[in-house]
Chain A
């Protein structure tokens, strides 16, 4: 710390030293909490908050290679205890209301292949794992973005929510003098080509169409990766809604969380990119915020309720509007590319860190596998790499002097390998992240 910084630190301490409260705020805070509880609504930032708290965005998925490694990294055991030391409750193994009606099954269910044994738990480790290929989805290592096609792009500092687009990338960044994020298109060297005040981006499952919300124009904007195609350039949002796109529920269906101009949540909405009527039965799907959408399976997940003890989540079939299952023990944060599995974690994500990632059957809520952390471990982020592998950014020795991290690739029965080197972290380092999951 130089002289100016020392003087600054001294002045801040001196300025604050005389500030004291006159009475305990506990009573007033509890009263305010009751008010918050009655009108509490979370926006799309709920997920971003916890993930950003460990400096990681969400991920994209393409295809990956089957593991060649040995048996699961650690013993696989039935789930008997809370997988999270951060939770005071013991989550139940099953969702609150698993569906019992066979009619809820899709007309053309995914092909049964290599069904993993369900209900096991794997405690994540970094040592003794076989080394596998690099992640097959977009991922970041410092300011380098590794594209799904194996190419690389250089990112400017503070570039988040990265998505490969053409030869470059699109993502978001925030400016000091602008409280609204900017959606930025950049070339592979990191040179910014276009930017808009707004939120997003999201992409269709094949990556061909990108969408984002432009605040200034009040519209959903679209861009095709090949520069051609027949998609419209924009869809005006007439009523002043501010949209935070979550994902494509179909090739031409954008699902977004909605806020008003004061950032108060107004729930969610679905828009056909051409302004045509939406062929989903959205009437009964009452989410406070949507957290994940499956284009392949037309599923939608989100928080239905936020309570003192956490949050309640549910998964709906979009076209029918039927609730498939709900749970107040976990959150649902993503779907596998084929929509067969869902990825979840703590019931409410508050920035305290992720202690476990859980794979569910997306249509029933049945636990498929839980990836638990050691006592001093934390999961920075997790995402499906393909239909049968999940990538997990795991940090061991978190908050200790010997923190280490790596991206792990795990099969849905718990077998894991490393997808990156195991890196010893100097203080203040978070090298890995995932890009946006199409």
Chain B
């Protein structure tokens, strides 16, 4: 019983400290705040079940990231099997102009357009991009979380970046 109490205290302490960090990663994976909360809650639930097998803080964070990536990919797969292409709706790209003018409007347009393109990436590529460029993880750390080889991380990341760059150039060309 003492063990269970200790686990609850430690678990609550971890959640309080890391919840927002994981929510931000989940948001980048899902592109949706509500889905992000669902994803993090599921990851925390599975972490709770595995609590006594994962010890240090770094392992806990990696464990939660791995669950989030796997769970998100699983959601996407289930949707794919129901003949949907994505769990996320693909947003329309914002049009330049509007109430703001000049550099500010251009900057906002470019940022929104890039984010929209990121949201269209397949989940594995998107996870690679988020882990490498947002979390600043090494290729090795990313490989462990994605459960793929280092080479696959490199290829997923480079393909994703190339796709984003090409799509971005096409967007720019149409403006």
**A33-B49, A158-B148 known; A12-B133 Cβ under 8 A:** yes
* Chain A residues near B148 (CB-CB < 8 A): 52, 55, 158
* Chain B residues near A37 (CB-CB < 8 A): 49
Inter-subunit contact B147/A53 (CB<8 Å): yes
* Chain B residues near A308 (CB-CB < 8 A): 49, 51-52
A-B CB contact pairs (8 Å), 20 listed: A8-B161, A16-B25, A17-B24, A19-B36, A21-B20, A21-B37, A24-B15, A25-B40, A29-B15, A30-B11, A30-B45, A32-B45, A52-B148, A86-B53, A86-B54, A157-B151, A157-B152, A158-B151, A261-B81, A348-B50
* Chain B residues near A55 (CB-CB < 8 A): 143-144, 147-150
Contact with B along A298-317 (1 / 0, CB 8 A): 00000000001110000000
* Chain B residues near A143 (CB-CB < 8 A): 151
Most chain B CB within a 10 A radius of its CB, from A8, A158, A350, A429: A8
| Range for the number of chain A residues in contact with chain B | 35 or more
Q: Which of A38-61 contact B (CB under 8 A)?
A: 40, 48-49, 52-55
Contact with B along A258-269 (1 / 0, CB 8 A): 000111000000
* Chain B residues near A429 (CB-CB < 8 A): 140, 150
How far apart are the CA atoms of A9 and B139 in the complex, in Å?
15
How far apart are the CA atoms of A360 and B100 in the complex, in Å?
71
Q: Which of A161-176 contact B (CB under 8 A)?
A: 174, 176
Inter-subunit contact A20/B74 (CB<8 Å): no
**A176-B125, A309-B52 known; A20-B20 Cβ under 8 A:** yes
| Nearest-neighbor residue (CB-CB) of A425 within chain B | B140
Q: Which of A4, A25, A29 contacts B161 (CB 8 A)?
A: A4
**CB of B106 closer than 8 Å to a CB of A:** no
* Chain A residues near B95 (CB-CB < 8 A): none
How far apart are the CA atoms of A179 and B45 in the complex, in Å?
25
Contact with A along B72-99 (1 / 0, CB 8 A): 0110111011000000000000000000
How far apart are the CA atoms of A53 and B76 in the complex, in Å?
20
Inter-subunit contact A36/B49 (CB<8 Å): yes
**CB of A427 closer than 8 Å to a CB of B:** yes
* Chain A residues near B53 (CB-CB < 8 A): 86-88, 309-310, 346, 348, 350, 352
Least Cβ–Cβ distance between A76 and chain B, in angstroms? 27
* Chain A residues near B115 (CB-CB < 8 A): 11, 15
* Chain B residues near A12 (CB-CB < 8 A): 28, 118, 129-130, 133-134
Q: Which of B12-52 contact A (CB under 8 A)?
A: 12, 15-16, 19-20, 23-25, 27-28, 33, 36-37, 40-42, 44-52
Least Cβ–Cβ distance between A347 and chain B, in angstroms? 9
* Chain A residues near B12 (CB-CB < 8 A): 24, 26
Inter-subunit contact A19/B24 (CB<8 Å): yes
**A26-B15, A33-B45, A261-B81 known; A21-B23 Cβ under 8 A:** yes
Inter-subunit contact A4/B165 (CB<8 Å): yes
| Nearest-neighbor residue (CB-CB) of B50 within chain A | A350
**A15-B115, A29-B15 known; A427-B122 Cβ under 8 A:** no
Inter-subunit contact B155/A157 (CB<8 Å): yes
* Chain A residues near B139 (CB-CB < 8 A): 427-428
Inter-subunit contact A25/B49 (CB<8 Å): no
**CB of B8 closer than 8 Å to a CB of A:** yes
How far apart are the CA atoms of A32 and B44 in the complex, in Å?
9
Least Cβ–Cβ distance between B116 and chain A, in angstroms? 11
* List of 10 A-B pairs having minimum Cβ-Cβ separation, nearest first: A29-B44, A16-B24, A52-B147, A32-B45, A179-B77, A428-B140, A428-B139, A12-B134, A9-B133, A33-B45
Least Cβ–Cβ distance between A218 and chain B, in angstroms? 14
Inter-subunit contact B134/A16 (CB<8 Å): yes
**CB of B109 closer than 8 Å to a CB of A:** no
Inter-subunit contact B49/A7 (CB<8 Å): no
How far apart are the CA atoms of A33 and B125 in the complex, in Å?
29
